Amino acid sequence: MRFFKTAQKAVKFAFVSMPLSVFGWRNISSNHRHLKDLVSTIRNPHCPMCDKGVMFVHRDAEADEKSLYPWTCSADCGFGVLTKRDQKSITEVLLPLIKKKGRAQLDGMSEEEQTSLIKSHTRQSRTFWAFAVLCPLIALYSLATSGMALTCISIFSMTLPFSILAVKWSYRAWQVRTGTLYVEGAFKQFVKRGLWIPGIDI
Question: Average of pLDDT values for 38-61?
Answer: 76
- Indicate the DSSP class of residue 130: H
CA 140 to chain CA centroid, Å, is: 26
117 and 167, same domain (yes or no): yes
Show Cβ contacts of residue 180 under 8 Å, excluding neighbours closer than 6 positions: 174, 186
For residue 7, being part of any structural domain is answered with no
Strand ranges inside the chain, DSSP E = 55-56, 69-73, 80-83
- State percent of the chain over pLDDT 90: 12
123 and 102, same domain (yes or no): no
CA 64 to chain CA centroid, Å, is: 26
Confidence of residue 37 (pLDDT cuts 50, 70, 90): low
pLDDT in tens, 111-148: 899 899 899 999 999 999 999 999 999 989 888 887 78
162 and 91, same domain (yes or no): no
159 and 193, same domain (yes or no): yes
85 and 151, same domain (yes or no): no
For residue 34, being part of any structural domain is answered with no
Question: Average of pLDDT values for 16-42?
Answer: 50
What is the amino acid identity at position 32? H
**Predicted pLDDT at 69:** 92
DSSP 39-77: HHHHHSPBPTTTSSSBEE--TT----TTS-EEEEETT--
User: How many domains is the chain partitioned into structurally?
Assistant: 2
Which domain range does residue 69 map to? 45-108
155 and 69, same domain (yes or no): no
For residue 119, being part of any structural domain is answered with yes
137 and 125, same domain (yes or no): yes
Q: Average pLDDT over the chain, rounded to whole? A: 76
59 and 137, same domain (yes or no): no
- Number of neighbouring beta carbons within 10 Å of residue 93: 18
- Predicted confidence (pLDDT) at residue 45 exceeds the cutoff of 70: yes
Question: Average of pLDDT values for 147-155?
Answer: 81
For residue 3, being part of any structural domain is answered with no
Which of 108, 128, 163 terminates a domain? The answer is: 108
For residue 6, being part of any structural domain is answered with no
Confidence of residue 93 (pLDDT cuts 50, 70, 90): confident
For residue 2, being part of any structural domain is answered with no
pLDDT in tens, 61-82: 888 888 899 998 888 888 999 9
